[in-house]
Each structure stands twice: as C-alpha cells, then as structure tokens.
Structure 1
Amino acid sequence: MTDAADAALPALLTRTGRPAAELWPDSGLLHLNHGSYGRVPTAATDHQQRLQREMEAAPMRFMAAAPAGIAQARERIARFLRTDPDRLALVPNASAGVSTALRSLPLPAGSEVVLTDHTYGAVRMGVERAAREAGAHVRTVHVPLAAGDDEAAEAIWAGVTERTAMLVLDHVTSVTARRMPVGTVCARARERGILTIVDGAHAPLLLTDPVSEADADVWVGNLHKFASTPRGTAVLVAHPDVAQRLVPLIDSWGAPDPFPRRFDWQASADYTAWLTAPVSLQHLEDEIGWDRVRDHATAAAAHAVDRIGAALAERWGEDTAVDLGMPVGPIRLLALPAAVTTDATALRRRLGDAGIEAQITAFGDQHYWRLAMHAYSTAEDVDAAIERALPLLAAA
C-alpha cells in the first residue's frame, strides 16, 4: 500500500485504537462486496454459536423461551431503525418480507402493480406470481440511471393509471446501487389509495432513518447486509393502516396473536440469528459507532472508485465513471470496459476462485463492478484489487 493511498484512506480504528478489521475474522479473502451477504463480526458469531449450543442442550426449554426473547430482540432492533417495535416483525430476508406482503395484501383482479426496471430479480418474480394468481397486470417503468429525485419520481408516477393498486419499489437498488425517491412516491400513492411495498434490502444502517424516509405501507430490509447481523435476519415494518392484515408465510402457534407478535413464532426453526441481531448491532455501535462506520465506508468506496477506475481506464482506454442519480455513499459502480466479458456469473466465479469477493451486475447492455465497502475496508484492499483483479478482467 502506498503512503499516498494510506493518507487518502486511513484505516478505521475502534474506540480503543484497534484496527476495525480485527472485529471480523481473517478469512484470507479480499472482501469488496459487503452489499450481498455482509460479514458478521466475530463477537456476534460467537454469541450465536453459544445460543445454538444452549438450544441443542435443552431444545424444549430453549424453544419455549424463544418468543419472549424474539420480542425483546424486536424492541432493540426497532431502536436502531428509529421505529416503533409494535410496527416491526422479523422475517428471514427481504424477499420473504415482500412475499408476505403480497400474500397478505392480494391484488384485485384486473388491477395493475407498478415496478421499475431496477427491481431486484427475486422480488420481480414474486410480484409476477402474485399478479398471475390474481389476474392482475405488472407494469414496468424505466428510470434512467442518472435520474435525480424529481425525474425518477415522475418516471415512476408516469406508470400509474386508474387501475394501479400497488407500487413495489426498491429503496436502494441492488443492480444499480442508487436510491429511489420512495418517500415522495409513497406519499403521493397514499393520497390515491394505492398500496406501497418498499424493498429496503440494502437500507438498514446504511441509511440513517430509512423507515421514516419511505413511510411505506410495508417496508422490508435485510439486517445481514450493511448492518452486519447473522444471515436470516430481516425486518418487515408495517403502517398501522395495514399491519393487522399481515400474516406470516408459515401458520403456526402464534397465528391468533396480533401483529407483530404473530410473527415471533413461526414453527420449528433456528431463531438464534434473530436473537443475535441486536447483539451485533450494539457491538459495532460500542466498538466504532454507526456514524463512523458509514463515513468510513463512504470514503472507502470513493477511494476505490477513484483508484480502480483510473487503473481500468489506463488499461483499456475507456471511461469507467458512472453518472448515477441519487447515489449511496458506501455502494458505488464502475462501468466495465466493453472488452471485458459480458458473462457476469462467469466473471464473479473467476474472481471468487482467486479469493476476491466481488459483485458484477448489469443494467441494459452495460456491465458494472459494484463495490460495497464497510468498516474493515482499507486502502491496502483497494491496491490488492487492482493488482489481483485486473489481470483476471483482462483474461475474460
């Protein structure tokens, strides 16, 4: 790592002066993709493993106590998300949360649901299934990559007709790493009596107050991404107008309870991720502070875009900059040169085989390297990416 690079991006330290990277296990891999599955701090994985041992030692006792523990976890998670715990239920992931909303709030026959062309693939499939079953229609609107708040909101609203019953929007898009003007659109939809579901998969703790910003009928978000909790932990936050209409995908002994308590017990499952989530959130707040995590991750992403983008441009003679409307600091895009393979899956596999955790996405005819940084990201990581990844891109 060069002195200049180190000066541009100093390593983040904990409150006690340790490198933040020491809070996570050393896997020997180069992590440039916290945005897909996240990474869980060692203290949290240790806590979850202790809970799993307790569960195996006395499963009946553990399961009997689980609903009360989950209710407490919900309250602690709600404080981090600045929302009311009585509006928040836990679900396995954001896609499950969207599926829950679609099942509980069925589309009327002959109605329409509006999506954008940035919609996450699994969510799109869920919406299309729900529309087929209801005899409804899916309308997809184009939002330009560079569209700002007002332009994006108008592009979305241009797809609304007198038949529109629901809007399903990304808060932070997975493929294109941009925000959508969900607050503006959701407020307008509520005036028209149109239901809104916001897929905030990437938003928890990446944004400071995402639930209030959206004010959707149903907002879902993964905690295992930027928030760094164990995988299998996500939240569904419901507006009071629709909350009691929402039921879990699994009918179990909590079914007679009101929302959100009916979600606290969904049959035999490993609930240790849910019980560990608040421990993980509090651990990173105590050791670093979430504002400092966001600031550092934003600086790391900017540094990565500058350094890797310059290296790509020098090697291929093409501009890699992306004109992105409503960008999100810690998640950034680089346009891949035309000479690089358009098989994103093969390219991700090639990088993975070389020990590089990276995400390659595509929007339209353009492929992108999506960089998602976190507290542990360093200038050394960026230099290593240039040294190790560029030859693999050249071989594509």
Structure 2
Amino acid sequence: MGSEEMTLPPFGQEMREKEFCMRKGSMFLNHGSFGTVPKRVKDIQKRYIDKMDDHPDDWFRRNNLGKWKEGRDAIAAFVNADSEDVVLVQNATTGVNTVLKSINFKENDAILATDNTYPAIQFTCEHAKAANSGSQYYKMDINYPIISEDDVVEQYRQFLSSHPHVRLAVIDHITSSTAVVMPIKKIIKLCREHDVMSMIDGAHAPGQVPIDLKDLDPDFYTGNLHKWAYTPRGCALLYVRREHHAWIRPLVTSWYYLKEFTMEFFMQGTRDDCAYVTVTDALKFYEDLGGMTAITGYNSSLLDLVTDRMVTEWGTGKLPIPRDMEAPCMKMIRLPHMDLYDVTTAEAYRLMDDLFYEHDIQVQIFCVLDNLYVRLSANVYNHTEEYSLFINLIRDVSLNKRPMCLKRKSEKSPGNSDMPFSEK
C-alpha cells in the first residue's frame, strides 16, 4: 500500500475538488483545528480497516506491530529523531498528559505554562498540581507587542530566575490561540540552564515548520500529524529523551508494563491503529505535493494576500508580532468593531456560529488583547476567491450595512456557543 505514483492537480480549487472531501459550497478556512484527510490517504486507511476485518487475529497478532513501527519510523525520520525515542499517541493533548501524569511532582515543585497555552493543557497542568499535594502551577503572561524572539526569551529568563522551583515548562511550538512561532530552541536551552525539563507542545508544528529534534534536544516533544501532515485524525508523535524512558508511562497500562519503552505505548489493548499505520502514506502524499517548501510557500503567499486585503478593507491590523514569528499557514487578523458582537469569548463563538449557519463559512475566532481576532488557516485546497465573501461580509456588518443573520443578539445560536473549548 502507498507505493503507487501520484499525479496531482494544481493547488487551489482543482486540488480541493479532486483530492479532498469538503462538501460543495462550504468555505473551509480553518484547516488548523481538525485538519482534513486527503482522499488518497482515506482510501488507504479504508484498505487497512478492511484488512483488519478480513481476519482480526491475523491483523492484531501478525501485522499491526510491523505497520505501527513503519509509521513510527517514518515520523521519527521526518523530525530527525531516533526511532527508539518516538512513539505514536492519539493527539498532542494525549502526549502532554502522558508526560505530566508520569512525573511525581514533589512539594514545592512547579509546572510552568503561559496564558497562550492551549486551555486543555492548562487544565492538565491544574490536574497535575491537584494530584501532587504541595506542587504548584504557574501561568506566565506573554507580553505584547513582541518586537523579537529575544523579548519572549527574556520573559522566560526573568520568570525562571525568580521562580527556582519550576521543574517542568510546557512550551508551545506554535501557539493555538495566537499562531505565534515560539523560539523553542532558545527556550529549551534556557530551561536546561535552570535545571527545568522542557515539554514542547507542537500541536500545529509537524508539516508546518521544520523540526529537528536532535538539534532542538528537548526533554519531551509532542505534535499532531492529523493537522498539517495529512494523516487520519487521532495521530500524533511523542518524543521522549532517552534519559527519561525508565519513568515515562503511557496513560493505559497493559501487557508491556515496565518492559520495552516503545512497546508499552504500542500495546494498549484492542484498538484501531489504522491512523498510525497510514503515517508513511500520508507523508508520501505530503512529499508528492512538493514537501514543506511548496506547501508552506503556497499557503503563506495566499494568506499574505488575503490578510493584506483584510487589514486594508477593515481598517484593522495583524497581531503585533515580528514576521519571523508568524506561522506560515496561520495568520491572526483583528476584526473591526461590530455593534452586534461584544468582545468576549462567548461572543467569539456566537460570531463563528453565525458565520457557519448563515453563510457556511468556517473560521476560528479568538478574544485576544481586548479584541476579536480571526485566525485563518490555509492549505493547498484554498484559493483567493473563497475569502472574498468573508471579507465583504465582515466589512458590511461592521459598517451596519447588513445584519449578520436573522437571530436577535440575545438568542443562542445552536453550535459552539455552549461548548467549553476552542479547538487547537
């Protein structure tokens, strides 16, 4: 499986129609939350599922492990890590949970995250504190505007110097709510100087930015493959530095407890591992598209074009960060003031719902720096024409030229408004 040669259409509308599965008419401008599985990869996944169901014993006893290792080896090579230090887990949240719940935090030991840390991971830090009596959890605010990487590094330096009990720092590679590429190599080095372990949450990183784990040398790194590397959903890597293998345990204890490190993570009971075993095929699709240079080159150019138009037509601006800290496939643009929507997280969800239910536009909106920002995510199936309706709609609503929808402001829309989370 996966050996056939690919003939691929050009990026944009034709790529969407021939290689992806989004329903006709929808404007899907939010690849970053859940990704989308290419048709070719989905077809391979289905063939693996059929093989599993053709003879379950043959699959689970004789085939699954070999395919799992092939996927693990492929992603290890992709991020330049030794295979023995990499395992496959369901998602980046699982990876962070695995590490934090393996550590026996002692009294006064502290975990450090930031106000830009993904909320589910903030909750994980709170849980680890509650589960380890006497331990602490600190949330450091990231200060804006950011002029350079050194601004962020200096914030970490000052915090670690004044909080000597920090034992582990959870550090985003690319922040979810603000799409900032963090200077993780410098922060990892700083953490080691302060005897602090580094847990890198790379939920958005694999496939979007280069990753060289031998060069970065973190203690732990996790990253989703189902966002920017085209695997089926529920597929992520977890890297664990060799010195920590002896005490990192998977969330599920099974047959290989206290035996070989990677096998503990493979043997998790009866489950469908087909998302994991398609890693090799998904990375082949990624490379056949032209790899990171072609993919991020297209996505970044597309977003530059549409964000410039948004800033001009809306009279707003982008998040105040330097160009080299902007994610290539994700951009943050401040929305104009709209009388219909207050600047709160609940109102951000309501605006997302109105855009979806009334206009079939899917974007991600956050409340950041006392403003509503739209986070646009682009991939190779997006094209400039898709953005025009969104740009014009927001402009007209801000100028009170038209209502967003027929709902009264006090009414609930039927989607994310009641959800306690905002997806990465």
Same fold (TM over 0.5): yes
Is 1:272 aligned to 2:274, yes or no? yes
Q: After alignment, is 364-373 or 211-220 more displaced?
A: 211-220
> In 2 relative to 1, CA 361–210 (structure 1 residues): closer, same or farther, beyond 3 Å?
farther
> In 2 relative to 1, CA 384–281 (structure 1 residues): closer, same or farther, beyond 3 Å?
farther
Q: After alignment, is 196-205 or 353-362 more displaced?
A: 353-362
Match for residue 363 of structure 1 among 368, 384, 389: 368
Following the alignment from structure 1 to structure 2, what is the Cα–Cα distance between the partners of residues 93 and 259?
19
> Equivalent residue for 1:352?
356
SS of the residue corresponding to residue 375 of structure 1 reads: coil
CA drift of 1:15 comes to 6.0
Following the alignment from structure 2 to structure 1, what is the Cα–Cα distance between the partners of residues 65 and 227?
24
> Equivalent residue for 1:7?
none
Contact 1:108 1:165 in 2 (8 A): no
Q: Which amino acid aligns with 1:348?
A: M
Following the alignment from structure 2 to structure 1, what is the Cα–Cα distance between the partners of residues 320 and 10?
37
SS of the residue corresponding to residue 50 of structure 1 reads: helix
- Stretches of structure 2 that go unaligned for 5 or more consecutive residues are 1-6, 410-424
CA drift of 1:386 comes to 2.5
Match for residue 36 of structure 2 among 24, 36, 39: 39
Following the alignment from structure 1 to structure 2, what is the Cα–Cα distance between the partners of residues 265 and 359?
36
Structural mapping, 1:201-280, within 5 Å: 201-209=203-211, 211-212=213-214, 214-280=216-282
Contact 2:334 2:374 in 1 (8 A): yes
Q: What is the identity percentage for the equivalent residue pairs of Structure 1 and Structure 2?
A: 27
Following the alignment from structure 1 to structure 2, what is the Cα–Cα distance between the partners of residues 248 and 336?
42
Match for residue 59 of structure 1 among 35, 56, 59: 56
> Equivalent residue for 1:374?
379
CA RMSD of aligned residues (A): 2.1
SS of the residue corresponding to residue 284 of structure 1 reads: helix
SS of the residue corresponding to residue 104 of structure 1 reads: coil
Aligned residues: 379
CA drift of 1:172 comes to 0.4
Following the alignment from structure 1 to structure 2, what is the Cα–Cα distance between the partners of residues 89 and 110?
31
Q: Which amino acid aligns with 2:372?
A: H
CA drift of 1:257 comes to 3.2
> In 2 relative to 1, CA 202–240 (structure 1 residues): closer, same or farther, beyond 3 Å?
same
Following the alignment from structure 1 to structure 2, what is the Cα–Cα distance between the partners of residues 56 and 228?
24
CA drift of 1:57 comes to 2.5
CA drift of 1:211 comes to 3.2
CA drift of 1:109 comes to 1.7
Structural mapping, 1:1-396, within 5 Å: 19-21=14-16, 22-28=18-24, 29-64=26-61, 65-134=63-132, 135-147=134-146, 148-160=148-160, 161-209=163-211, 211-212=213-214, 214-313=216-315, 319-325=316-322, 326-339=325-338, 341=341, 342=343, 343-353=347-357, 354-387=359-392, 395=404
Contact 1:25 1:41 in 2 (8 A): yes
Contact 2:175 2:182 in 1 (8 A): yes
> In 2 relative to 1, CA 199–151 (structure 1 residues): closer, same or farther, beyond 3 Å?
same
Q: After alignment, is 349-358 or 211-220 more displaced?
A: 211-220
> Equivalent residue for 1:6?
none
Following the alignment from structure 2 to structure 1, what is the Cα–Cα distance between the partners of residues 170 and 95?
12
Contact 1:74 1:85 in 2 (8 A): yes
> In 2 relative to 1, CA 141–17 (structure 1 residues): closer, same or farther, beyond 3 Å?
closer
Q: Which amino acid aligns with 1:351?
A: L
Following the alignment from structure 1 to structure 2, what is the Cα–Cα distance between the partners of residues 269 and 391?
50
Contact 2:9 2:15 in 1 (8 A): no
Calculate the TM-score normalised by the size of structure 1.
Answer: 0.90
CA drift of 1:368 comes to 0.7
Contact 1:299 1:330 in 2 (8 A): no
Following the alignment from structure 1 to structure 2, what is the Cα–Cα distance between the partners of residues 130 and 210?
29
Following the alignment from structure 2 to structure 1, what is the Cα–Cα distance between the partners of residues 368 and 104?
30
> Equivalent residue for 2:419?
none
Q: After alignment, is 233-242 or 286-295 more displaced?
A: 286-295
> In 2 relative to 1, CA 388–43 (structure 1 residues): closer, same or farther, beyond 3 Å?
farther
> In 2 relative to 1, CA 193–322 (structure 1 residues): closer, same or farther, beyond 3 Å?
closer
> Equivalent residue for 1:8?
none
Task: Tell me the alpha carbon deviations over residues 193-231 of structure 1, each in whole angstroms, 9 at most, x when there is no partner.
Answer: 211111110000101125356421011100111112111
> In 2 relative to 1, CA 301–279 (structure 1 residues): closer, same or farther, beyond 3 Å?
same
> In 2 relative to 1, CA 95–26 (structure 1 residues): closer, same or farther, beyond 3 Å?
closer
Q: Which amino acid aligns with 2:149?
A: D
SS of the residue corresponding to residue 242 of structure 2 reads: coil
Following the alignment from structure 2 to structure 1, what is the Cα–Cα distance between the partners of residues 224 and 397?
31
> Equivalent residue for 1:316?
none
SS of the residue corresponding to residue 101 of structure 2 reads: helix
Contact 1:171 1:198 in 2 (8 A): yes
CA drift of 1:322 comes to 2.5
> In 2 relative to 1, CA 16–112 (structure 1 residues): closer, same or farther, beyond 3 Å?
closer
Calculate the TM-score normalised by the size of structure 2.
Answer: 0.84
Task: Tell me the alpha carbon deviations over residues 57-100 of structure 1, each in whole angstroms, 9 at most, x when there is no partner.
Answer: 22222122212210111011212222221111101000010000
Following the alignment from structure 2 to structure 1, what is the Cα–Cα distance between the partners of residues 118 and 251?
20
Contact 1:78 1:88 in 2 (8 A): yes
CA drift of 1:145 comes to 3.3
SS of the residue corresponding to residue 248 of structure 1 reads: coil
Following the alignment from structure 2 to structure 1, what is the Cα–Cα distance between the partners of residues 397 and 272?
39
Contact 1:140 1:159 in 2 (8 A): no
> In 2 relative to 1, CA 17–348 (structure 1 residues): closer, same or farther, beyond 3 Å?
closer
- Stretches of structure 1 that go unaligned for 5 or more consecutive residues are 1-13, 314-318
